[in-house]
Amino acid sequence: MYAIITVTGSDHPGIVAGVTTALAEHKANILDISQTLMGGFFTMILRVEVSNSIDELQAALTAVEREQSTVIRVQSEALFTAMNEL
């Protein structure tokens, strides 16, 4: 199953490390990643292949979200695509 993960928040050290560590612990494979800094605001979007459930991954990333003071959303790729098509 494929998922899209978005991460936003104020830029500071540890965001990428926190997210990628959680992904590795849940055996998610990063297929594509992009990040941007805009005036101190951090944004990152990842496309990952998930071997476990998306709900389990979201729960793990919720801990990272609290630790890093960010907003992290996980959606199935199919749902993300359907919601963002014009």
Q: Which of 56, 51, 58, 53 is nearest to 74 (CA)?
A: 58
- Mean predicted confidence (pLDDT) in 72-83: 77
Domain range for 44 is 2-85
How many helices (DSSP H) and strands (DSSP E) are in the chain?
3, 4
| Chain segment 16-37, per-residue pLDDT in tens | 999 999 999 999 999 999 999 9
17: domain CATH number is 3.30.70.260
- Mean predicted confidence (pLDDT) in 48-57: 88
pTM > 0.85: yes
The pLDDT-based confidence of 80 (bands split at 50, 70, 90) is low
Query: Structural domain tally of the chain?
Result: 1
**Measured distance between the N- and C-terminal CA atoms of the chain, rounded to whole angstroms:** 24
pLDDT at position 25, please? Answer: 94
